[in-house]
Structure 1
Amino acid sequence: MTQANTVTVHILDKEYCIACPPDERSNLESAARYLDGKMREIRSGGKVIGADRIAVMAALNITHDLLHKQQRLDQEADHTRERVRDLLTRVDSALATDQDGLGI
């Protein structure tokens, strides 16, 4: 593996060299900063001790947030589909009424 394909990130005071395609470097760095921030929040709360436990709690919190957002997006998509169906029904009804008025 070449040096150009690795990215060094810092998470909770540790350095990690991670293989990464060049076009994903920015995303990886952002993800590492986000994870580092979450882990620092948990550590500063003082209720969880040990890097492994902090990492698991951060993973659980991030996963919970992701699933909650996905559920909200699914609900919004369902609502949008319902509105589109309603609009299509209204358009079909208007077209049918218009055709009836023309004697077609």
Structure 2
Amino acid sequence: MSNSAVEITLLGRTYSIACPKGQEDALRIVATGVEQQLTSLKNRTNSLSREEIAIMAALNIGHELFQEKQKNKDYMKQMDDRISLLQSTLENALVERSTK
């Protein structure tokens, strides 16, 4: 699969990013979210350098990702438990039916 160049702007600087074909819109959406994080941090903390703002944004985004992964893990555990209960209920019903 070939790449295409996508231009994104973060804190007033434009970057040309190589992106797999078909993923351009996803990259733009992510870049918009990153720009929002960066701008929000910049507006709240005027004394931070670009690098410090980028680090803080990366930590915030990483924390959000961690929370989403944890939610997904918890959800998967709940679904596994429900599937196990359903399997057990079905097995018990089949055993009960076969003994009649």
For normalisation by structure 2, the TM-score amounts to 0.92
- Residue aligning to 2:31: 32
Instruction: Report if aligned partners of 1:9, 1:17 keep a CA contact under 8 Å in 2.
Output: yes
| RMSD across aligned positions (CA) | 1.4
> Counterpart of 2:48 in 1: which secondary structure?
coil
* Sequence identity (%): 24
Structure 1: runs of 5 or more not aligned: none
- The number of residues matched between the two structures is 98
Structure 2: runs of 5 or more not aligned: none
Alpha-carbon offset, residue 20 of structure 1 = 1.5
Determine the C-alpha separation between the residues in 2 that align with 1:24 and 1:39.
Answer: 22
Instruction: Report if aligned partners of 1:42, 1:48 keep a CA contact under 8 Å in 2.
Output: no
Instruction: Name the larger-Rg structure.
Output: 1
- Residue aligning to 2:43: 44
For normalisation by structure 1, the TM-score amounts to 0.88
> Counterpart of 2:23 in 1: which secondary structure?
helix
- Residue aligning to 2:84: 85
Which has a greater percent of helix?
A: 1
- Residue aligning to 2:57: 58
Q: Which moved more, 1:62-71 or 1:39-48?
A: 39-48
Determine the C-alpha separation between the residues in 2 that align with 1:86 and 1:25.
Answer: 43
Which 4+ residue blocks in structure 1 deviate beyond 6 angstroms? Answer: none
Which has a greater percent of strand?
A: 2
